[in-house]
Structure 1
Amino acid sequence: MKIKVAVGYARRSSKSNPKSSIPNQILMIEEYCKKNNICLKEIYIDDCKSGRRIKGRDQYLLLKEHIKAEEEINMVVVAFADRLGREAFEFIRTVEEIRKSRLELICIYEGISSESVSPMQLVMLAIQAEFENNQRMQRVQNSKEQLLRQGIYSVGGTPPFGYQLTKERRLMPIEEEAEVVKWVFEKYSKGLFVSEILFELKSWSKIKNWTRSNIEKILLSKTYTGFIFKKIDGKKGLYEQLSFTPHPPIITNELFDDCVKLMVGKQSRSFKINFYFLSCGLLRCSACKASVKPYMNKYYHCPNCSWKIIRTFIEDRILEFLLEEEGGQADKHFENNKHIISNKNKLEVLFASGKLNSDEFDEAYLHLQQDDTNNKIKMRYTPLIKNKNLEHLKQVLMNDKVSFILNDSGSIEYYKERT
């Protein structure tokens, strides 16, 4: 009797239970092959790799190449079916590649072989693996939220400057850093600009290499008031409270609120920088279509029609217009994405019921991938506006040959015939 030759595959994500550890998977594969008189040629191992993505799973890709090239291999053995992939699409494609190569897939824990189950059963197994992964991710997220509500810092990463984590992962102030945090808030509440605070801080604090972004990050963190908060839009004073068990505060709620009010007030003037954002033909007169010019450092005006408009008013309106335009693209992306997911589900059902063969399945899947690529959002202007990088935004708009008109009803429109 000819001895069968197999290759194995083992994978674990960054967090796994002992049952699905790499040593346990290897042991299961080796014992199965020994018991069934199978020659195990090699085991490919991806450690700390997510099953939701192929990218980064180098050994998995080598396995796929190996089974295509090696004629002597008869089967692929895995300890658990979901080790091949937690996404149903990827699992189905891998199984189909194994079938095309006339190989047998063995899933030890589930006790199944690709030669003894139908395509429908394999598809159901793939869908079950994807569903269980989504459930697991939701349980992890729920656990993190529960810990956060208890004041345990489970969001990952380093804690805010001024705090350290105890063994129980609770926030505890670092006295020297906490004094700096308090000083920054007090100075800002007295009307100092961030640039002035930075200049003073560099002169006496050597704790870190201070930058403007360091100070802004401190000023935008409400966690210093004694509870863990998530920033929704710090410069508008919008926060979500995550913890309801307090930790030692560094500043009072009153001091933080005072600073937020100042920050929101300055936000309305943040675009008053020392250059004319809408010069060089970016703003047109609605009547004569001429380029609107800067006037007296406060206005834009049309030299032909002799009208003028406050520069901050029109600049803010156009920035809001650009944000709304790209926000509309995001809504369209969401609707298109729902359509793609629906088609994906239909494709799986057709394949499982035998109405599509493997070639038809591959072709349809490639079309779905192309649709998904075309559906990606390209946010060109929004990041620049939110970061207040108007010099760069102006250059991008000029490169795009975009200009604007304030029409008679007071709304902004694109002017498309710029020369």
Structure 2
Amino acid sequence: MDKYLMYLRKSRSDDPNETVEQVLAKHERILQNYASAMLDQKIPEECIYREVVSGETIEDRPEIKRLFELMQSNTIKGVLVVDCQRLSRGDLIDCGTILQNFKYTNTLIVTPKKTFDLSNEYDYKSVKSELMAGSDYLDYMKTIMQRGTLQSVLEGNYLPTRTPFGYKKVKEGKRRQYLVPDPETAPYVKFIYEKILEGYSAHAIGLMLDDLGVKPFMAKYWHERTIKRILSNEVYIGCTVWNRHKVEKRIVDGKLKKVRVRQEKPLIVHDTHEPIISKEMFDSVKKLMVSKSVKVNMSKELKSPYAGLLRCKLCGRMMRYQGEKGRNVPRYDCSGIRHCRNMSTNATVVDNAIIEALKSNLEDFKIKLNKTDEEQIQTKKNMISDLKKSLDKIDQKKERIYEFLEDGTYTKEKFIERINKLEIEKKGIETSINKIGSTMPNRNEWKEKYATLNEAIDMLQNPNISAKSKNTFLKKFIKVIYYEKHERDSSAPRHGAVTHSKNVNIEIILK
């Protein structure tokens, strides 16, 4: 029996009052009834692909990518969809990807209205036209929705999904939603503004709120960044800010990615809800924040060679380098020290612990290099070489099959049957090559890493090399360095020159 798959996805044309699950269940019933009536089979559960995530492009939709992978095995007769546009309403690249996958795997697109065979020129043009129309419709709908959203904001509605601290969102009917001060949290917004004007830092205010038992909406504890965002947010003087950040598509490392970009001039709509802070107080704080802002000295020398690499193993925050102050030697502590149990350590101890961890990695690569069996490597290389020769033979067979089709020796059906058998055989050989290649030791890569680790150890032990140079080099091959210390060194002098500690654990993750 021919094997069919089913692909289900909710689109903007569906009833917005229905959930994704309701729409997919309805479409599944339609397609199962069609399969029973027209294909004499029911599509089993393992052959049904439900796209529950909302993604405009193929890259954002994991289920259709799994579908394409299975289609490449050339064992799938067709894919059932409610209509062709369920496969994509993306851009030209996505449309081309869909057309290629179905055409060159000889997979049918089966809809209740019509079955499309993309090897047929008329069907190919029909599906292409429908996908392009869907893409144009998507662009049109986006424009209409953006206009509607903008109009709603201008009318005074608060549309962001996240409600700001100090407010509650109130909905009136389907069209009206606005903010009202939350009697429980609004007083603390005033508290934050008053304390900053009294001379307290954002960090100190966060600690005060923690001590008072006040919780921010999205975290366990207050961070000074959260305090500063509250102090600079116009929402607290009765304004709605729209498009503060805009999502733009950019090519990053050869791939199309979405990037959030802060807008210089976002839309600010005044008097949309009741303010918590007066305009005068907001302006005073703004002026104070500008005067207090730290001017970054770009020529300031980097002190820690582990900047951007050293993280707390317990909470995941970055470890902070504390420079020499008075009699205290430089130290590392967790940036969330008030709420984290990880203990601080002398910077020299951290240096030596990291060097020891690098030496341990070095020893691992040395053992790998010494244990590698050259004869075993050559055997696997010979196996791969033989398999590649088999691939060449398959390509030669395909050429002959094409000649048989052209001179009439093979019918179209016989041609497709023979090509599919060769493709299955080819895929099996390619899988074997990949499997052997993945188990074959990569001596050259190990040698490079061994040399890199050696160089890193020498650099860290050399006091004449700047922290910036060390940092740049370490970032080339280290992904992250985890630090942990949960016991104080009992024999350590308070301000002494401790160089090693058995209580410090370092874990280095290489790229």
Q: Please report the TM-score for the alignment, with normalisation by the length of structure 2.
A: 0.47
Amino acid at match of 1:253: K
**Match in the other structure for 2:233:** 221
Distance 1:49 1:159 in 2: 24
Which of 201, 206, 215 matches 2:214? Answer: 206
Q: 1:41 aligned to 2:64?
A: no
**Match in the other structure for 2:15:** 17
Structure 1 regions of 5+ residues with no counterpart? 281-393, 402-419
**Match in the other structure for 1:376:** none
Instruction: Report the CA distance between 1:162 and its aligned residue.
Output: 0.3
**Match in the other structure for 1:104:** 108
Aligned runs of 1:390-401 on 2, under 5 Å?
399-400=471-472
**Match in the other structure for 2:195:** 187
Distance 2:186 2:270 in 1: 22
Q: 1:164 aligned to 2:168?
A: yes
Deviation per CA, 1:93-119: give whole Å up to 9, x if none. Answer: 233222223332234468855447254
Instruction: Report the CA distance between 1:252 and its aligned residue.
Output: 1.0
**Match in the other structure for 2:139:** 134
Amino acid at match of 2:280: E
**Match in the other structure for 1:286:** none
Which of 271, 282, 286 matches 2:296? Answer: 271
Instruction: Report the CA distance between 1:262 and its aligned residue.
Output: 1.4
Aligned runs of 1:6-405 on 2, under 5 Å?
6-12=4-10, 16-17=14-15, 21-42=23-44, 43-55=47-59, 57-69=61-73, 71=75, 73-87=76-90, 88-108=92-112, 114=118, 115=120, 117-156=122-161, 158-168=162-172, 169-204=177-212, 206-208=214-216, 209-230=221-242, 240-244=266-270, 246-267=272-293, 269-271=294-296, 277-278=300-301, 399-400=471-472
Distance 2:153 2:126 in 1: 41
Instruction: Report the CA distance between 1:253 and its aligned residue.
Output: 1.2
Amino acid at match of 2:83: F
Question: Measured at CA, do residues 39 and 5 of structure 1 come closer, stay the same or move farther in structure 2, by a change above 3 Å?
Answer: farther
Deviation per CA, 1:322-351: give whole Å up to 9, x if none. Answer: xxxxxxxxxxxxxxxxxxxxxxxxxxxxxx
Larger Rg: 2
Instruction: Report the CA distance between 1:59 and its aligned residue.
Output: 3.2
Instruction: Report the CA distance between 1:130 and its aligned residue.
Output: 1.8
Structure 2 regions of 5+ residues with no counterpart? 246-262, 304-465, 474-511
Instruction: Report the CA distance between 1:238 and its aligned residue.
Output: 6.8
Distance 1:74 1:238 in 2: 53
Deviation per CA, 1:46-68: give whole Å up to 9, x if none. Answer: 23223423346443233223333
Q: 8 Å contact 1:5–1:39 — kept in the other structure?
A: no
Distance 1:65 1:101 in 2: 11
Q: 8 Å contact 2:74–2:105 — kept in the other structure?
A: no
Instruction: Report the CA distance between 1:202 and its aligned residue.
Output: 4.2
Distance 2:40 2:5 in 1: 10
Instruction: Report the CA distance between 1:250 and its aligned residue.
Output: 0.2
Distance 1:143 1:101 in 2: 42
Q: 8 Å contact 1:46–1:58 — kept in the other structure?
A: no
Q: 8 Å contact 1:148–1:242 — kept in the other structure?
A: no
SS of equivalent to 2:160:
coil
Instruction: Report the CA distance between 1:142 and its aligned residue.
Output: 2.8
Distance 1:50 1:248 in 2: 35
Instruction: Report the CA distance between 1:84 and its aligned residue.
Output: 1.3
**Match in the other structure for 1:351:** none
Q: 8 Å contact 2:210–2:222 — kept in the other structure?
A: yes
Deviation per CA, 1:10-51: give whole Å up to 9, x if none. Answer: 112699526992123223323333443453434523232234
Number of paired residues? 278
Distance 2:288 2:114 in 1: 62
Distance 2:42 2:302 in 1: 72
Which region of structure 1 is more displaced relative to structure 2, 241-250 or 209-218? 241-250
Q: 8 Å contact 1:14–1:50 — kept in the other structure?
A: no
Distance 1:259 1:238 in 2: 20
**Match in the other structure for 2:413:** none
Question: Measured at CA, do residues 92 and 202 of structure 1 come closer, stay the same or move farther in structure 2, by a change above 3 Å?
Answer: closer
Amino acid at match of 1:162: G
Amino acid at match of 1:140: M
Amino acid at match of 2:129: M
Instruction: Report the CA distance between 1:180 and its aligned residue.
Output: 1.0
Question: Measured at CA, do residues 270 and 191 of structure 1 come closer, stay the same or move farther in structure 2, by a change above 3 Å?
Answer: farther
Distance 2:239 2:113 in 1: 45
Deviation per CA, 1:346-393: give whole Å up to 9, x if none. Answer: xxxxxxxxxxxxxxxxxxxxxxxxxxxxxxxxxxxxxxxxxxxxxxxx
SS of equivalent to 1:45:
strand
Amino acid at match of 2:4: A
SS of equivalent to 2:235:
helix
Q: 8 Å contact 1:81–1:110 — kept in the other structure?
A: no
Amino acid at match of 1:223: V
Distance 2:88 2:115 in 1: 17
SS of equivalent to 1:167:
strand
Displaced runs of 4+ in structure 1, greater than 6 A? none
